[in-house]
């Protein structure tokens, strides 16, 4: 297969990249996803609360979180290859339509009197599958909507979007919970709002004119599995990228166990109500927003290894604080610190990864990385839910902190330290 580059629309002044704030297509992509992410964060907090209300089982709450993440393990590799074949914009629109229908079925079933735990499991899996394809298409499209030198800033804004979602989603959830009569009603309303947010995303995508991939020319000679192997091979032969993938796998495996542990700790040991639990996650978003704002500056002034290893160290200390938190205040401070480091870590990592990959391999390289680093989260969330009953949330948080400390020490012994 051969590839020809379709022209970008350049800034009025030749040789100077157009400012992101004047890039209409990027702003449409960013603003539409901001609304969608707010809805997603709203339902993500509602999800374990809803299952806990229906089943009273932390293990099942961990299972339903895992079902949202397992599709990364099952579908990331073929999805990445398909994203390099398909029209990425159309794929994103179809995924939003699927998520709109899936999440909208929850309030519909509730009002008809048929809502059940198995339906929630199915919706979580469908949403997670659509999310795999959508996010791979989105991150692979980013280099097509901005200039190469603007990638760190553009991805930082995407991380700010996640933080805005982490801030406003739980805040809206707290409001809905306070207005609703029961936890179940509040969670169902959260699903309704989330489903509507996907419609907003669809509308914004429809107005974007920039093609999300280069024009493909010639017949495809490789099979789907050969294309998948090409993406995996690229990742494996880039030694530093391989180290980053393995470290991120360890971090994501451990950190995926944290949300349910925090909910159980807040509800069962600190005796906080649902509205306060939403507010805990809301304050987490404030930390993420701060991290997104300073991430481009840190990327410009620190080495990759300093940012990555430093993030793991900060997470270790913050998880230790969460484990010993005697009240909601320390829980809030530690949670904000954890979320502040996510965009700093991600901007450094993703900017490096996108700078290495040619456009025709972007979907496969991103999918290979996410297959390893996101796929492991499903296993982590499931194991974390199982361990909550015998260990309790505080002991589990201490074990997570210890695992992060070991990961950081190991990383210091690799070439990442000098990167």
* Centroid of chain to Cα 208: 23
Domain hosting residue 159, numbered range: 20-211+225-418
pLDDT at 303 > cutoff 90: yes
- 12 in a structural domain: no
CA angle 100–106–112, rounded 5-degree value: 125
Pairing mode, strands 215-217 and 2-4: antiparallel
Q: How far apart are CA 94 and CA 212, in angstroms?
A: 15
Average pLDDT for 256-277: 84
> In this predicted structure, what is the pLDDT of residue 52?
82
What backbone phi and psi angles, to 5 degrees, belong to 299? -60, -35
* Domain tally, the chain: 1
Nearest CA-CA partner of 49 in 185, 214, 247, 196: 185
Burial class, 5, CB count within 10 angstroms (exposed 0-12 / middle 13-18 / buried 19+): exposed
Task: Determine the Cα–Cα distance for residues 358 and 366; give it in Å rounded to an integer.
Answer: 11
Among the residue ranges 238-242, 279-283, 366-370, the one predicted with the least confidence is 279-283
Question: Between these two residues, 267 and 9, which has the higher pLDDT value?
Answer: 267
- Supply 279's token pair: 């507010």
- For residue 4, pLDDT over 50 is answered with no
Beta-carbon contacts of residue 394 (< 8 Å; ≥ 6 apart):
265, 269, 323, 324
Evaluate whether residue 152 is within a structural domain. yes
Cα–Cα distance for residue pair 106/195, rounded to 1 Å: 10
User: What length does the chain have?
Assistant: 419
Torsion of CA 138, 144, 150, 151, to 10 degrees: 40
Query: Any residues with CB less than 8 A from the CB of 386 and at least 6 apart, and which?
Result: 59, 62
CATH at 241: 1.20.1250.20
Question: Is the pLDDT confidence value at 178 over 80?
Answer: no
pLDDT over 50 at 3, yes or no? no
**How distant, in Å, are the alpha carbons of 21, 218, 360 from that of 86?**
29, 15, 11
346-359 per-position pLDDT tens digit = 989 988 887 777 77
pLDDT at 14 (0 to 100): 41
When pLDDT is averaged across residues 315-327 and rounded to a whole number, the result is 92
Look at residue 129 and give its three-state secondary structure: helix
Distance CA 221, CA 234 (A): 19
Rg value, the chain, Cα: 21
0.75 exceeded by pTM = no
Whether 43 is covered by a domain: the verdict is: yes
Asked if the structure places residue 3 within a domain, the reply is no
- Region 383-406: mean pLDDT is 91
Is residue 14 a part of any domain in this protein?
no
The answer to whether position 44 is within a domain reads yes
Tens digit of pLDDT for each residue in 13-59?
Answer: 445 566 777 778 888 888 777 777 777 777 776 777 788 888 888 77
Measured CA angle at 321 (ends 286, 270), to 5 deg: 85
Place 215 in a pLDDT band, splitting at 50, 70 and 90. low
**Least confident segment among 215-224, 276-285, 304-313:** 215-224
Burial group, residue 12, by CB count within 10 angstroms (0-12, 13-18, 19+): exposed
Q: Are 282 and 177 in contact (CB under 8 A)?
A: no
Residue at 168 is within a domain: yes
Check the CA dihedral 396-257-314-308 and report its sign: positive
Closest by alpha carbon to 187, among 281, 56, 179, 399?
A: 179
Lowest model confidence (mean pLDDT) among 39-48, 320-329, 385-394: 39-48
Q: Is the pLDDT of residue 383 over 50?
A: yes
- Tens digits of residue pLDDT in 118-148: 998 999 899 889 988 888 888 778 777 877 7
- Separation of alpha carbons 139 and 395, rounded Å: 36
Q: What is the distance in angstroms between the CA of the first residue and the CA of the last residue of the chain?
A: 34
- 314 occurs within a structural domain: yes
- Find where tokens 């542990």 sit: 261
DSSP character at residue 17: P
- The per-residue pLDDT for 16 is 59
């Amino acid at each position: 297969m051969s590839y020809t580059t379709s022209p970008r629309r350049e800034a009025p002044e030749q040789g100077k990249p157009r400012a992101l704030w004047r890039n209409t297509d990027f702003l449409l992509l960013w603003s539409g996803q901001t609304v969608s992410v707010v809805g997603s964060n709203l339902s993500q907090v509602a999800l374990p609360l809803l299952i806990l209300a229906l089943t009273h089982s932390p293990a099942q709450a961990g299972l339903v979180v895992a079902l949202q993440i397992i599709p990364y393990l099952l579908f990331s590799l073929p999805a990445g290859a398909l994203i390099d074949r398909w029209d990425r914009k159309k794929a994103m629109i179809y995924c939003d339509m699927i998520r709109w229908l899936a999440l909208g079925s929850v309030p519909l079933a509730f009002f008809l009197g048929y809502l059940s735990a198995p339906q929630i499991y199915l919706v979580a899996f469908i949403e997670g599958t659509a999310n795999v394809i959508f996010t791979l298409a989105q991150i692979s499209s980013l280099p097509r909507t901005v200039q190469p030198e603007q990638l760190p800033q553009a991805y930082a804004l995407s991380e700010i979007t996640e933080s805005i979602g982490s801030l406003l989603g739980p805040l809206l959830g707290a409001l809905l919970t306070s207005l609703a009569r029961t936890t179940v009603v509040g969670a169902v309303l959260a699903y309704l709002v989330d489903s509507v947010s996907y419609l907003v995303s669809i509308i914004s995508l429809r107005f974007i004119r920039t093609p999300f991939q280069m024009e493909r020319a010639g017949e495809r000679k490789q099979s789907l599995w050969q294309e998948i192997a090409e993406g995996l091979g690229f990742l494996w032969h880039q030694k530093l990228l391989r180290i980053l993938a393995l470290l991120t796998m360890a971090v994501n495996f451990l950190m995926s166990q944290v949300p349910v542990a925090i909910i159980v700790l807040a509800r069962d040991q600190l005796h906080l109500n649902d509205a306060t639990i939403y507010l805990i996650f809301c304050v987490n978003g404030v930390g993420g927003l701060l991290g997104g704002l300073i991430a481009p500056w840190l990327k410009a002034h620190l080495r990759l290894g300093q940012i990555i290893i430093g993030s793991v160290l900060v997470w270790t200390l913050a998880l230790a604080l969460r484990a010993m938190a005697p009240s909601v205040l320390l829980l809030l401070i530690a949670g904000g610190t954890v979320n502040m480091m996510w965009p700093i870590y991600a901007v450094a990592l993703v900017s490096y990864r996108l700078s290495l990959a040619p456009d025709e391999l972007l979907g496969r390289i991103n999918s290979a990385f996410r297959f390893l680093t996101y796929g492991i989260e499903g296993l982590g969330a499931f194991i974390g839910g199982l361990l909550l009953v015998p260990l309790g949330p505080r002991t589990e948080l201490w074990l997570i902190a210890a695992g992060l400390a070991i990961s950081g020490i190991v990383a210091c012994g690799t070439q990442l330290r000098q990167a």
